[in-house]
Structure 1
Amino acid sequence: MKSSTEADFRAFVVSRWPRMLRTAHLLTGHHHDAEDLVQAALAKAYVKWERIQGADDPDSYVWRIMINTNVDRLRRMRLREWLTHRFPESSVPDRADSVAERSAVLDALARLPAKQRAVVVLRYLEDRSESEVARLLGTGVGTVRSHAARALKKLREQPDLVPVGQ
């Protein structure tokens, strides 16, 4: 790769890393998996950087790579047993309400199918428009709306997620 192209890629990575890591953490639910996901997506983007750089919206291209990489990762992880970082014994609840709420949201997101999770993360947590989400996921706006509606219905049914003020 030419040195100026490589410098452009490095600048892209430095400027996008925090946001990509946050989005990846919301998609995966674990910090280490999020770092792996971002690194894998950026490795794929690096190989195609000259083509990506010439695209209309390089950000969307790279975010799409990250979302597709996450979906592929989840397909490979179809296990009969779920690996967890929690012990089976009951734990003492944390007194920090924000930590408990965050954990409940991440657990609820983890229970959603990959496409629905991606729509919720991009639409509501990343505050992107329906058309942006549709473009990133390679679907129509109607599909984004239906995934969002189904995901929100499932999230509302989660007993851990009680709306604020109730």
Structure 2
Amino acid sequence: MSLSRRAAREADYAEFVADRQQHLLRIAYAVCGDWHGAEDLLQTSLVKLYLAWHRVHRDGREEAYTRQIIVRTHISDTRRPVFKRERAGLEGWDAAARGDLAYEERSALFDALQQLPEMQRKTVLLRYWLGLSIAEAAADLGIGEGTVKSHASRGLDGLRTVLDPVDAAALER
């Protein structure tokens, strides 16, 4: 590969990362629920993206591929034995997330999301926070479309139960 092509490809990669880094960091945070872990997850994912950039950039699916890397890297990291995982040392020092919701509502939502089982949380995030289609979420997670529907439905029910236990109790009667 010529030096100018390599430089152009690296410039394209750097531009993509500069443009999308904050968005990707928010996705990583939503997946793992910890800002420090999200930064590590994003860094690992961006290294993997860099290694595959020549293929990914050619197809024009950079963001979808990066989301898939983030989700799969987190799955891989959580499957490792506990003694090999890194832990953030500054619990409670995470920066506040920006958003349209009031702080209390946003905090309650993220707390409720963290109470969901892992695949339900990831499915809800991909489908409803990022607005992916069922097929896109299934491809990112490496599961079937029916499984995405099932996890999303159960995840939304779980969120409703946690976020509004009074209404959920009334529905059960």
**TM-score between both structures, scaled by the size of structure 2:** 0.75
Shift of residue 114, structure 1, vs aligned partner: 2.2
Q: Mapping of 1:13-162 within 5 angstroms?
A: 13-55=17-59, 57-76=61-80, 78=82, 85=91, 98-158=102-162, 161-162=163-164
Q: Is this contact kept in 2: 1:74–1:114, CA < 8 A?
A: no
**TM-score between both structures, scaled by the size of structure 1:** 0.78
The structure 1 segments of at least 4 consecutive aligned residues displaced by more than 6 Å after TM superposition are: none
Larger relative helix fraction: 2
d(CA) in 2 for partners of 1:138 and 1:60?
13
C-alpha root-mean-square deviation of aligned residues, in Å?
2.6
Task: Show the counterpart of 2:98.
Answer: none
SS at match of 1:48: helix
SS at match of 1:39: helix
Q: Is this contact kept in 2: 1:116–1:150, CA < 8 A?
A: yes
Give structure 2 stretches of 5+ with no counterpart.
93-100, 166-173
Give structure 1 stretches of 5+ with no counterpart.
87-96
Identity %: 40
CA distances 1:16-59 after superposition (whole Å, capped 9, x unpaired): 11211111111122222111111110011111211222335222
Q: Is this contact kept in 2: 1:9–1:46, CA < 8 A?
A: yes
Letter of the aligned partner of 1:85 in structure 2? E
Q: Is this contact kept in 2: 1:24–1:35, CA < 8 A?
A: yes
